[in-house]
Amino acid sequence: MIRLAIQSKGRLNEESDSPACHRGTESCFDIAPEQGFLGKLEKVVRKRHKEMPQGDRGRYIYEASDLLYHLLVLNEQMGIGLEDLEKELLSRHK
């Protein structure tokens, strides 16, 4: 059983009678960040960034296009169109 209580400044305080992680440990995040998958991925990104020629505009265009493609796929899955995003951005610039 997990009990949550809101402390001052909106912070949550969690009390548990059982392990919180699916592995039976107190936390799923008990390994150092640099040893987990995201830490390894971060190292790959840093290495590739260092190896990328300065001013490699083509590589940037490739990566940015990939990002936009996946954003469009996610938008489709969520039922969100470009007009929804445009409306949101316009509402921020009144």
pLDDT digits (tens, 9 = 90+) for 39-61: 888 898 899 888 877 778 888 88
Which residues, 6 or more positions from 27, have their beta carbon under 8 angstroms from its beta carbon? 20, 21
Cα-to-chain-centroid distance, residue 9: 24
**Rounded distance between C-alpha atoms, residue 2 and residue 16, angstroms:** 4
Quickly state the pLDDT bin for 3 (edges 50, 70, 90).
Answer: low
| C-alpha–C-alpha distance, residues 91 and 84, integer Å | 11
- Which one is predicted more confidently, 23 or 86? 86
pTM of the model: 0.46
Cβ-based neighbour number of residue 49 at 10 Å: 9
Report the pLDDT value the prediction gives residue 8, as an integer from 0 to 100: 56
